[in-house]
Amino acid sequence: MKSFNIPEFYKSPIISKIKQLRKLNDPRKVDFSASVLDFGEVRFFISRHFGFCYGVENAIEISYKAIEENEGKRIFLLSQMIHNPDVNNDLLNRGVRFLMDTTGKQIIPFSELTKDDIVIIPAFGTTLKIEDELNKMGIEVRKYDTTCPFVERVWKKSEKLGEDNYTIIIHGKYNHEETRATFSRSEKNAPSIIVKDIHEARILGEFISGNVSAEEFEKTFKGKHCELFDTSKHLNRVGVINQTTMLATETQEIADYFKSVMIKKYGEAELKNHFADTRDTLCYATNENQEATYGLLKQDADLAIVVGGYNSSNTSHIVELCEQKLPTYFISSASEIISKTEINHYNFTKHQHIVTTNYLPNKKPVDIILTSGASCPDSVVDEVLQKILSYFNSAKSVEEVLHKMMN
């Protein structure tokens, strides 16, 4: 797989070494067990897969290349390049400006742009409408387009589904940048509708089965389907694609559910005429990170710390998985760790920050699961580990623990 040129300050002396060791020992990525850093007083269980994925590294390389190649020019990002505050803040500090926020609200009007300006497309991609606007201004949209190749693969699948006369069901968060970009393409190719989760999928499935009224359908899906969506004929033949950062298991559950709905309505023999197999739209990196989280959770631990941007979809799903087993603290950086007794963390369900006291149990060793989202730099995870470690005065040194791991 291609390697990318990303700034050294995103790498780390601890985490990057662990990743490299696992890569050497497990090149086929079949071992999802945790790496163990045993410092005596405290032990960290590190996920097999986490941090920057292919799409994120690709986006970072292109963005910094745009800065290097365009000294003196105005450089803009459509919105956050990825959902990580450290990466976005560094780009801002280098003079890059955001045109929109993550919801699509304009910060700087497009009317202020000129054909000489540089516009970077974020890793989530953008809508066809926005692409068209920029092209009409003479801006080279494709020159610094950081859209993840795996997002583009979903777009190609939507095009194929449209060619085969399937209605497209998108599993995603309605107002997420990636889902908006995917929807803009899928609705061009075919009738399209967005379902947020298995709950909404079941409402749609019950409508297909004739058990939910048109009023209930519109109440749930108003603004979440294309114009001229005809419920009498556009739900007879369906395929499922997804926002790549959603839980892969949930996307599969939704696809399997619609498959069962079509079998029940039309019979097994007619399934191919009413349901498309779209398993290949699941992002490998998201899937690997989630599989690694399941492997990580086989460890007996006292708590989990998940590091990443609070608006990161893939990170919130990792938090969701960890919370099912043990106390979990979702933080954006080491600065959220106030002291050995206090941690400021984020409740993504309630969208609020919480300060928890006595989060580290009074025992030895303290066992901590540590992982991050796909847009979080290794260096940030490294800082979290180092800060926690600083609270244990009799802990072994990093050099001693790494030496033991490497030999």
Domain that holds residue 234: 150-282
Q: Is there a catalytic annotation at residue 268?
A: no
In a domain, 141, yes or no: no
Q: Is 129 exposed, middle or buried (0-12, 13-18, 19+ CB in 10 A)?
A: exposed
In a domain, 335, yes or no: yes
Backbone angles phi, psi at 8, to 5 degrees: -60, -30
Number of domains in the chain: 3
Are 145 and 121 contacting, i.e. CB atoms less than 8 angstroms apart? yes
Record the tokens describing residue 23, joined without a space: 């890569």
User: Which of 76, 106, 136 finishes a domain?
Assistant: 136
Q: Whole-model pTM?
A: 0.89
In a domain, 3, yes or no: no
Residues 46 and 59 in one domain: no
User: Which of 250, 282, 314 finishes a domain?
Assistant: 282
- Picking from 10, 140, 122, 133, the residue whose alpha carbon sits closest to that of residue 70 is 140
User: Which of 254, 282, 310 finishes a domain?
Assistant: 282
**CA 112-187-200 angle, 5° bins:** 110
Q: What is the CATH number of the domain that holds 85?
A: 3.40.50.11270
Residues 244 and 295 in one domain: no
CA distance 124 to 142: 14
In a domain, 1, yes or no: no
CA distance 28 to 77: 36
Residues 157 and 263 in one domain: yes
In a domain, 20, yes or no: yes
Q: What is the CATH number of the domain that holds 168?
A: 3.40.1010.20
Marked catalytic residue, from 131, 178, 200, 288 = 178
Which residues, at least 6 apart from 307, have a Cβ–Cβ distance to it below 8 Å? 315, 331, 332, 333, 370, 371, 372, 373, 376, 380, 381, 384
Residues 184 and 270 in one domain: yes
CA distance 268 to 274: 10
Record the tokens describing residue 15, joined without a space: 């985490």
Residues 299 and 395 in one domain: yes
Q: What is the pLDDT of residue 106?
A: 95
Q: HSE, CB side, 13 Å, CA atoms: give it for residue 67.
A: 15
Residues 386 and 315 in one domain: yes
Tell me which H or E stretch contains 157.
Answer: helix 149-163
Residues 67 and 99 in one domain: yes
In a domain, 143, yes or no: no
Residues 267 and 192 in one domain: yes
Can you tell me which residue has the tokens 């600083």?
Answer: 390
Distances (CA, A) of 346 to 44, 46, 341, 351: 21, 21, 17, 7
- Picking from 174, 195, 310, 302, the residue whose alpha carbon sits closest to that of residue 241 is 195
Residues 127 and 68 in one domain: yes
pLDDT averages per 10-residue partition of the chain, 407 residues: 83 91 90 95 95 91 96 94 89 95 93 96 95 95 93 95 96 94 96 97 96 94 95 95 89 95 97 88 79 94 97 92 96 97 95 96 96 93 97 95 87
Q: What is the pLDDT of residue 1?
A: 59
